[in-house]
């Protein structure tokens, strides 16, 4: 559950889409008209984002901001149906954009980008950026990439023109719509050595993005200011973002964030612990909402050697006894409760 003080809806990533199962009306999805245009939404959190990378990021706060900074090929609408984001329509068997060779066991998926897509710096966003993103994810020299397995099912990407490209899968991969939730700028990142990509300063404050907002100011552990990215006019909704900007305020601890929400200093407070929510539920000063997320929590032992973020080998490398001890020390019933 995602606890909120205030009210909002988040953009979940695409999960569990079977081959060719997109809703017939997915490409005709239209967002509801905004009740208000302009203004700045003040969002509060008690965790400070440090890495804005859709490839390497495991931070919940940063992932929430990533959804505002980067656009992908396909998103989910509020009813959890896949809808076009950067592309003109969702590929399916029915519309001919998905071709399944049952004899060879291969699948070809063709996308067509919306016309006129541009990065926040004005450069064109093209299928070459999609192919570049795929190349980074499957490059063994790029360490620490999250969930690369689906991308490894792609044998090649054919760029047909400035809008069309085809993903060639060497096997059936039913969750192909999960891939490319964010596309990265080739013209900005191509000059970075693959071995240095994970630790590059770009991820601390990306200056070329494709989502509805871009970063205009970042003060670590204090606030992040997002302003509308006018180059997003050809994005998922086919128009600009409704808000002028978002002020993401960071508080040292959850209690201070709760106080700020009660005082009206933030419009929306995220990730509050249950004990903080309990103190606010019946005060009338704020509105408490719980929203489901397509997400789960896990602890994974980083086996990268060396760790690309620290430069040293993990202490549990080749030490099964230590791994078993760490697993045994986890209070699973306590976590579930």
SS (H, E, C) 157-217: EEECCCCEEEEEECCCCCCHHHCCCCCCCHHHHCCCCHHHCCCCHHHHCCCCCCCCEEEEE
Res 159: pLDDT:
97
Taking Cα atoms as reference points, which of 274, 271, 268, 230 lies closest to residue 246? Answer: 268
Range of the domain at 319: 297-337
Instruction: Label residue 317 exposed, middle or buried (CB < 10 Å: 0-12, 13-18, 19+).
Output: middle
Assess if residue 330 is contained within a domain.
yes
pLDDT at residue 10, as a whole number: 32
Backbone angles phi, psi at 45, to 5 degrees: -145, 160
pLDDT value, residue 33: 61
Give the pLDDT of residue 293: 66
Angstrom distance (rounded) from CA 294 to CA 288: 20
> What pLDDT score was predicted for residue 262?
84
- Each residue's pLDDT, cut to its tens digit, for the chain (337 residues) gives 444 454 333 333 333 333 444 443 444 545 566 667 889 999 999 888 888 999 987 777 888 899 899 999 998 888 888 999 999 999 999 999 999 999 999 999 999 999 989 999 999 999 999 999 999 999 999 988 888 889 999 999 999 999 999 999 999 999 999 999 999 999 999 999 999 999 999 999 999 999 999 999 999 999 999 999 988 865 545 568 889 999 999 998 888 988 888 888 999 888 777 777 766 655 666 777 777 666 667 777 777 788 777 788 888 888 889 989 988 998 888 877 7
Q: Is residue 101 part of a domain?
A: no
Give a yes or no: residue 314 inside a domain: yes
pTM: predicted TM-score of the whole model, two decimal places: 0.76
Q: Cα(255)–Cα(278) distance, rounded to whole angstroms?
A: 12
For residue 66, which of 230, 305, 248, 198 has the smallest C-alpha distance?
A: 248
In a domain, 337, yes or no: yes
Number of domains in the chain: 1
Place of tokens 């602890």: 299
Q: What pLDDT was estimated at residue 208?
A: 97
- The pLDDT, as a whole number, for residue 98 is 97
Q: Which two tokens stand for residue 63?
A: 């992932």
């Amino acid at each position: 559950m995602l606890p909120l003080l205030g009210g909002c809806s988040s953009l979940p990533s695409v999960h569990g889409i079977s081959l060719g199962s997109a809703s017939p009306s997915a490409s005709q999805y239209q967002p509801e008209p905004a009740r208000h245009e302009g203004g700045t939404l003040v969002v509060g959190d008690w965790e400070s984002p440090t890495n804005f990378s859709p490839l390497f990021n495991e931070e919940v706060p940063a992932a929430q901001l990533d959804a505002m900074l980067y656009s992908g090929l396909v998103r989910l609408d509020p009813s959890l149906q896949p809808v076009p984001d950067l592309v003109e329509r969702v590929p399916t068997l029915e519309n001919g954009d998905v071709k399944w060779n049952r004899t060879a066991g291969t699948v070809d998926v063709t996308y067509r980008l919306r016309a006129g897509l541009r990065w926040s710096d004005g450069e064109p966003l093209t299928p070459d950026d999609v192919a570049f993103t795929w190349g980074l994810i499957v490059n063994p020299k790029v360490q620490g990439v999250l969930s690369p397995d689906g991308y490894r099912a792609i044998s090649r990407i054919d760029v047909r023109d400035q809008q069309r490209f085809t993903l060639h899968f060497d096997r059936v991969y039913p969750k192909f719509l999960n891939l490319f939730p964010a596309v990265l700028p080739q013209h900005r990142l191509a000059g970075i050595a693959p071995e240095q990509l994970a630790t590059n300063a770009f991820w601390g404050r990306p200056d070329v993005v494709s989502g509805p907002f871009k970063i205009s100011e970042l003060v670590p552990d204090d606030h992040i200011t997002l302003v509308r990215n006018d180059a997003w006019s050809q994005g998922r909704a086919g128009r600009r973002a409704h808000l002028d900007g978002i002020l993401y305020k960071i508080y040292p601890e959850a209690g201070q964030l709760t106080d700020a929400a009660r005082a009206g200093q933030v419009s929306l407070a995220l990730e509050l612990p249950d004990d903080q929510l309990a103190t606010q539920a019946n005060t009338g000063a704020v509105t408490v909402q719980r929203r489901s997320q397509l997400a789960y929590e896990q602890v994974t032992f980083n086996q990268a050697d060396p760790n690309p973020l620290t430069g040293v080998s993990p202490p549990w490398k080749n030490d099964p006894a230590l791994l078993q001890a760490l697993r045994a020390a986890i209070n699973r019933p306590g976590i579930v409760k």
